[in-house]
Chain A
Amino acid sequence: MSLTKVSLAEVVKKQYIYKLHAYTQVFLSLIILQVIAILFSLNGSGMMGSGGGMIDLEVHYYSADIVVAFTMLWGFITAILITTKAYRNDDFILVTNRISSNLSNVLFLLTASLIGGITANLSSFLLKIIISIFKSDFYIDSPADIVTVMDLFVGSGATVLYIFLFSALGYLVGILVQLNRVFAVVLPVVFVGGLILDGMRGDAGVIAAVFKFFFAESSFTLFLIKGICTLVLLFLAAFGLSNRMEVKP
């Protein structure tokens, strides 16, 4: 029987298509999470009240921030999920090596981030509709909130990049945990411990600085460069660590 030759690109493409199909549960969880997040958002993200005499004024602010935050967490957890044995070992009954498996995972996470980011962004419209129908007597779309197509693109793009960053981080964390179970304990302790330590000292520490580095960037181009560089570093680390990993049941 003659040998069949396959190219890496071909295998990655097949695996990507297979993963979109086989990992559909991931998208089901996205829908559920975003619905819950929208319900939470109905509480409003801020409130201002004033009154005098016959007038009582209350201004509620609403935003889809909670949806975006939830979707980021979803990206993080999804990435960890697909590094677990149940998912990773699935590849090995098919044609694969570790590089193709990793590459198709990255493509899958990118797709998931795209879908998550765009739906999270669009959910703000759903929120506006729900509020204008059910919640308030007057609905004011603030001038800053009048969305142009350009805004929508930049907003969605930034959201997608944030979610993808979180999934890249999740992917690296997942690989580390797969390499050694110790990381499943060490990483959360370091993270939460770091936050507590920062809180006790009362000044912004490393974790806060990292958040500031990404979330407080006002220039979109700069954020794009920072984001993409970080993505490359995170995935390269994950690839390097997982390339010698053995398949164990």
Chain B
Amino acid sequence: MSVIECKGLTKAFGGTKALDNFSCKIEGNTITGLIGRNGAGKTTLLKIIAGYLQQTTGEITVFSERPFNDLTVSANVIFVHDQLNLPTALNLKEILDVMASFYQNWDRELAQRLFDYFSLHPMQYYNGLSKGMKSTFNMIVGLAARTPLTLFDEPTTGMDAAVRKDFYRALLKDYIAYPRTIILSSHHLDEIEDLLEDILLMQRGQMLLHMSVTDLKEWAVGLEGRTVAVKEWTKNREVIFSKNGGLDQTYVVVRNDFTAAELQKVKLAGIKTLPVSSSDLCVYLTSKTKGGIDDVFNKG
């Protein structure tokens, strides 16, 4: 059963459309990575799923309910983001107690153990925490709530590398023990790639790709070799990215619709075939020009 279904979802802020005719289905018990450049509409989408914002047009259902103003959705979704408003008058311990009283699946023991592990102080106040510590605390809240749908919007903002690693591991372990639907938006795809099952790539408010990580790895291929030879092979194909190296060398990323026989021929033509990492591919797919930032500097 799909947990989230969107059809033609559009959200306009003033003149600009943060979401533009966005449609997707997210299945239950998966970890989906929400990937996209800045301003692609990731946060807007998550906010609509959480019932914070109301779409301008289109339809969305979360657990078969419309999320805006719905108590069932609110009770079963936790939305963790870096601008989280937590009560300023309560200390961290009290905040955890309040959360425990609201979320029925709340795991007190897990919360406490994570709390101790990251050496947070129970008497501290949320506003007194550093940026990274705030993110760490948010993460504890997000994990311990154990809601059937957990939304993390750039949860690792400000965390150092060690804490980020711990977070990914904690997320994976808790997910395996208590399978649920998790959506994780992040800029560090290379870091979370191993964690994810599906990737949802967004661009300018629309869905670009929605597939499993294993499929995405096979989806494109990089060809590197002499410019003439590479050009010959990529002539009638969808070029995703191209880069000119020195000495008549070219690197081109194309859709991987080669047959095994063709690949053999490519190799014989002296072209190296290279796998394309998902994070590079996402950057290539969402860049506005084929050559990336280099094009800005290559005036000629």
Listed in ascending order, the chain A residues whose CB lies under 8 Å from chain B are 1-8, 11, 14, 17-18, 21-25, 85-86, 89-90, 92-100, 243-244, 246-249
Residue with the highest number of chain A CB atoms closer than 10 Å, among B83, B85, B86, B101 = B85
- By the criterion CB–CB under 8 Å, are B47 and A244 in contact? no
Residues of A within 8 A of B76 (CB): 3-4
Residues of A within 8 A of B88 (CB): 86
Contact across chains for A95 and B179 when beta carbons are under 8 A apart: no
Pick the contact of A1 from B47, B79, B83, B178 — CB < 8 Å? B178
Q: Does A246 contact B85, Cβ atoms closer than 8 Å?
A: no
Contacts of B104 in A (CB 8 A): 4, 6
Tell me, yes or no, whether B227 is within 8 Å of chain A by CB: no
Interface of B is mostly: loop
A21 & B69 in contact (Cβ 8 Å cutoff): no
Find chain B residues with CB under 8 A from A98 CB.
69
Q: Which residue of A lies closest to B90 (CB)?
A: A22
User: Chain A: which residue is nearest B43 at the CB level?
Assistant: A249
Query: Can you name 17 extra interface pairs (CB under 8 A) apart from A3-B72, A22-B98, A92-B52?
Result: A1-B105, A1-B178, A2-B148, A3-B76, A11-B71, A22-B87, A90-B86, A92-B74, A92-B79, A93-B84, A93-B99, A94-B102, A98-B69, A100-B71, A244-B54, A247-B47, A248-B53
Q: Are B69 and A249 in contact (CB under 8 A)?
A: no
Contact of B179 among A1, A23, A243 (CB under 8 A): A1
- Contact A95/B74 with A4-B104, A247-B52 known, Cβ cut-off 8 Å: yes
Known: A14-B102, A95-B102. A90 touches B180 (CB 8 A): no
A19: nearest chain-B partner, CB-CB: B87
Task: Tell me if A1 and B53 are in contact (CB < 8 A).
Answer: no
Residues of B within 8 A of A248 (CB): 52-53
Q: Could you say which residues of chain B place their CB within 8 Å of the CB of A246?
A: 52-54
Contact call A24/B89, Cβ cutoff below 8 A: yes
- B48 — nearest CB in chain A belongs to which residue? A246
Cβ distance B48 to chain A, nearest Cβ, rounded Å: 10
B26 → A minimal CB distance (Å): 15
| CB within 8 Å for A93 and B74 given contacts A1-B180, A4-B105, A247-B47 | no
B74 partner, pick from A1, A25, A96, A244, beta carbons under 8 A: A96
8 Å CB contact of B69 from A23, A86, A90, A99: A99
Alpha-carbon distance between A23 and B88 when the two chains are bound, in angstroms: 9
Partner of A93, one of B70, B72, B86, B179: B86
B103 contacts A by Cβ under 8 Å: yes
Query: Cα distance A249–B83 when bound, in Å?
Result: 7
Most buried by B among A23, A89, A93, A96: A93
Shortest Cβ distance from residue B65 to the other chain A in the assembled complex, whole angstroms: 10
- Whether a CB of chain A sits under 8 angstroms from the CB of B215 is no
**Once the chains are docked, how many angstroms separate the CA of A2 from the CA of B148?**
7
Within 8 Å CB of A14, what residues of B? 101-102
Q: Are B75 and A95 in contact (CB under 8 A)?
A: yes
Whole-angstrom distance between the alpha carbons of A164 and B208 in the complex?
A: 54
For the complex, what is the distance from the CA of A25 to the CA of B178, rounded to whole Å? 39
B63 at the binding interface (Cβ < 8 Å): yes
Distance (Å) between the CB of A31 and the closest chain B CB?
16
In the complex, the answer to whether A1 meets B89 with C-beta atoms within 8 Å is: no
Q: How far is the CA of A139 from the CA of B69 in the complex (A)?
A: 59
B53 adjacent to A247 (CB under 8 Å): yes
30 A-B pairs, CB-CB below 8 angstroms?
A: A1-B146, A1-B178, A1-B180, A3-B148, A4-B104, A4-B105, A5-B75, A6-B71, A6-B72, A6-B75, A6-B104, A11-B75, A14-B101, A22-B98, A86-B85, A86-B88, A89-B85, A90-B85, A90-B86, A92-B50, A92-B74, A93-B84, A93-B141, A94-B98, A94-B102, A97-B51, A97-B70, A98-B69, A243-B69, A247-B47
